[in-house]
Amino acid sequence: MSHELGATLDRVKGYGEALAKEGYVTVCFDFCGGGWGSRSDGELLDMSVLTEKADLEAVLEEVKQWDFVDTDSIYLMGNSQGGLVTALTASEHREEIRAVILIYPAFSIYDDVHGMFDSLDEIPETHSLLGLRLGNRYFVDIWDLEPYERIREYRKDILLIHGDRDSIMPVSYSDKLAGT
């Protein structure tokens, strides 16, 4: 279960606890440098969607080694930026991921970054997004990651959850995703 930008595992822990009560093995973790108060190593200024994807891939590899996990039934779930990271990861690990749950996935980040800068050369050492000061790597790493192209590669079940009154992540992005 992958949390939002600037958050910690506490944002998805409730989902994990509810699913665990129903018998599912759940893993909630902090992305390295993913948020203030993170229990993981790393700094927010060094984090990007690709570093978080690498973190999720490391968790996936670890979980596949556990003898009590049915490796034919691995699901990924992510909220907001965690949803984008989940989608990117699932698209590259199609054979390993049975289905995906995306909760208000932040597919808008790609457009947001392209709206802030006209080229990679314009990206400064640090810049703010949603009130967080992020490093150059964050903006550079997302530059070529058009999310709809990536998720098309997944071709398996996706449960998409997004409220129509979301003031941060426009529901139009999920509407587009639903039509993909």
Confidence of residue 117 (pLDDT cuts 50, 70, 90): very high
- DSSP per-residue string spanning 67-133: TTS-TTS-EEEEETHHHHHHHHHHHH-TTT-SEEEEES--THHHHHHHHH-SSGGG--SEEEETTEE
Distance CA 171, CA 161 (A): 10
Name the average pLDDT for the chain. 95
pLDDT of residue 180 exceeding 80: no
Element (H, E) at 52: helix 49-64
Query: Checking DSSP bridges between strand 157-161 and strand 99-103, what pairing results, if any?
Result: parallel
CA separation, residue 84 to residues 17, 32, 89, 95, 150 (Å): 22, 16, 9, 19, 10
- Predicted confidence (pLDDT) at residue 59 exceeds the cutoff of 90: yes
pLDDT on residue 112: 95
Q: Is pLDDT above 90 for 67? A: yes
Question: Beta partners for 158?
Answer: 100
pLDDT for 35 beyond 90:
no
Q: What is the pLDDT of residues 140-159, one digit of tens each?
A: 999 999 999 999 999 999 99
Residue 114: pLDDT band with limits 50, 70, 90: very high
Both structure tokens of 12: 């998805």
What is the pLDDT confidence band of residue 39, given thresholds at 50, 70 and 90? confident
In this prediction, residues 151-178 reach a mean pLDDT of 93
Answer whether 33's CB lies under 8 Å from 51's CB: yes
The predicted structure's pLDDT at residue 134: 96
Q: Is the pLDDT of residue 32 over 90?
A: yes
Residue 129 CA: distances (Å) to CA of 10, 60, 156, 178: 21, 28, 31, 26
- Give the model's confidence band at 36: pLDDT under 50 very low, under 70 low, under 90 confident, else very high: confident
Domain parsing of the chain, residue ranges: 9-178
CA distance 34 to 40: 8
> What does the pLDDT look like over 11-20, one tens digit per residue?
999 999 999 9
> How many whole angstroms separate alpha carbon 83 and alpha carbon 65?
24
CATH hierarchy code of domain 9-178:
3.40.50.1820
